[in-house]
Amino acid sequence: MGAPLRRLAPLAALVVALPALAWAGALDERLAAYRAAGAGPFTAEAGKALWGQTRTVAGEAPRSCPACHTADLKARGKHVETGKPIDPLAPSANPDRLTDGRQIEKWLLRNCKWTLGRECVPQEKGDLLTFIAGQ
């Protein structure tokens, strides 16, 4: 009786851990991909600095991440050009955030190009996501 039960114990531990893994899956998977590309370690400090970086385009309002997402990531944002509302980016205020890897990549690509004038490299994406995930 004892031996079969002991063999089942690791399986039971896995079943208990699965829901937590599913939640953190998309973010962890992205960070792992950036590490595989040679980036890391990632810090919220570096992400925050990039988040606040402002680029000036002649004749336009300054471009930065908070220009659309506001300085408070737990607050609703507003698209600086279209005025369309944007749901909060902070996972603590919006549990849907950072749960879909394709969505994360799509918007990082668009938003880095628009805001910084170029794509973000894996190190920057890891730093930005680490900062956002902690909000």
Given the rule CB under 6 A, which residues bind ligand HEC? Answer: 65, 67-69, 79-81, 86-87, 97-98, 103-104, 107-108, 111-112, 114-115, 128, 132
Contact present, 94 and 3 (Cβ < 8 Å)? no
CB of 85 to ligand HEC, least distance (A): 8
Hey, which residues does 77 pair with through a beta bridge? 86
CB of 98 to ligand HEC, least distance (A): 5
CB of 35 to ligand HEC, least distance (A): 18
For ligand HEC, give the closer residue by CB, 40 or 66.
Answer: 66
Q: How far is CA 130 from CA 87, 96, 123, 124, in A?
A: 19, 16, 11, 10
For ligand HEC, give the closer residue by CB, 33 or 111.
Answer: 111
Instruction: Report the C-alpha dihedral over residues 5, 8, 13, 19, rounded to 10 degrees.
Output: -130
